[in-house]
């Protein structure tokens, strides 16, 4: 008997931002796996088993989930945000590609969630209202030179950039280097948004010009959104400023 593996996005952290579809799948699961802090967001239910793991054990975690599903369990793999954005859906697919043939017969369902860049953008306006991209600054799975090439390419192409995994204890310098690279390609007043725990009680949101952006304002849980040359800030006397990227771009004369 083959079970089912459901890969679930828990959203940015506020319970109200978990979809009803995801909540139903969590309630139905017999076994829950995930990075320990994400798994702690899910209320415990009688009869469910849990297997929390470290953040760097993605392929091992995915393989454990697939083995349990192959044995007949209804398994839920939890991810923060959306599981398809620098998260567990890709790890599950990779494990299936390189795993035993029977894993390809498992019923795999991937349920979307609100990813960090969407939650942060919604708190400040519409900085992702025009063309944008998402880039992970982590070089654990790709070389840093490739990250630099991609940053330069998208900045020159006029994309708004959402940066995931911007900084960590093992990588304290890369966000600063990214800002230095972008400072040569974008106007100094380009808005930079630092968003942490968007929508939660401990939310921290800051908007600064690129010329004042400091890597010390971020940690691994921060999503950083860097506007394009067209991104604007609307000052409001009775409320916080709105940041938005116009959908229309007039051609240069």
**Same-domain pairing of 124 and 238:** yes
Write down the pLDDT at residue 56. Answer: 77
Main-chain phi, psi angles of 65, to 5 degrees = -65, -40
**Same-domain pairing of 184 and 211:** yes
Write down the pLDDT at residue 1. Answer: 64
**Same-domain pairing of 99 and 185:** no
**Same-domain pairing of 102 and 178:** no
pTM, to two decimals: 0.94
Write down the pLDDT at residue 66. Answer: 98
The percent of residues above 70 in pLDDT, for the chain, comes to 99
Reported as a single tens digit per residue, the pLDDT across 222-244 is: 999 999 999 999 999 999 999 99
Is residue 9 one of the residues assigned to a domain?
Answer: yes
**Same-domain pairing of 147 and 240:** yes
pLDDT average, residue stretch 184-207? 95
pLDDT average, residue stretch 193-214? 95
**Same-domain pairing of 157 and 225:** yes
Residues 6+ apart with CB under 8 A from 128: 117, 118, 121, 160, 162, 225, 245
Is residue 250 one of the residues assigned to a domain?
Answer: no
| Contact in structure between 174 and 146 (CB atoms under 8 Å) | no
Total structural domains within the chain: 2
Is residue 252 one of the residues assigned to a domain?
Answer: no
Residue 250 confidence (pLDDT) above 80: no
Q: Write down which residue in 114, 140, 161 finishes a domain.
A: 114
CA distances from 219 to 46, 167, 222, 225, 252 (A): 35, 5, 5, 14, 38
pLDDT average, residue stretch 186-205? 95
Residue 138 confidence (pLDDT) above 80: yes
Owning domain of residue 46: 4-114
Q: How far apart are CA 92 and CA 21, in angstroms?
A: 20
Write down the pLDDT at residue 252. Answer: 62
CATH of the domain at 154: 3.30.950.10
Q: Write down which residue in 53, 83, 114 finishes a domain.
A: 114
In this structure, the number of other CB atoms found within 10 A of the CB of residue 190 comes to 22
**Same-domain pairing of 129 and 225:** yes
- Of the chain, the end-to-end C-alpha distance in Å amounts to 66
The percent of residues above 90 in pLDDT, for the chain, comes to 88
| Contact in structure between 33 and 76 (CB atoms under 8 Å) | yes
Q: How far apart are CA 49 and CA 171, in angstroms?
A: 34
């Amino acid at each position: 008997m083959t079970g089912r593996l459901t890969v679930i996005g828990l959203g940015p952290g506020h319970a109200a931002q978990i979809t009803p579809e995801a909540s139903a799948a969590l309630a139905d699961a017999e076994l829950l796996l995930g990075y320990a802090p994400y798994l702690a967001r899910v209320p415990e239910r009688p009869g469910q088993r849990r297997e929390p793991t470290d953040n760097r054990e993605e392929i091992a975690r995915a393989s454990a989930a697939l083995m349990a599903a192959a044995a007949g369990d209804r398994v839920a793999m939890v991810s923060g945000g959306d599981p398809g954005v620098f998260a567990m859906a890709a790890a599950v697919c990779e494990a299936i590609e390189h795993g035993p043939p029977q894993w390809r017969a498992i019923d795999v369902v991937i349920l979307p969630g609100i990813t960090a860049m969407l939650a942060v953008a919604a708190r400040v306006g519409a900085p992702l209202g025009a063309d944008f991209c998402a880039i992970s600054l982590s070089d654990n799975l790709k070389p840093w030179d490739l990250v630099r090439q991609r940053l330069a390419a998208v900045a020159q192409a006029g994309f708004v950039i959402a940066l995931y995994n911007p900084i960590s204890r093992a990588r304290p310098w890369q966000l600063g280097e990214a800002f230095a690279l972008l400072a040569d390609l974008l106007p100094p007043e380009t808005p930079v948004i630092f968003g942490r725990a968007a929508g939660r009680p401990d939310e921290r949101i800051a908007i600064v010009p690129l010329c004042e952006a400091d890597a010390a304002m971020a940690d691994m849980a921060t999503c950083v959104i860097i506007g394009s040359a067209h991104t604007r800030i609307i000052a409001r006397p009775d409320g916080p400023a709105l940041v938005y990227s116009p959908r229309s771009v007039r051609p240069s004369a």
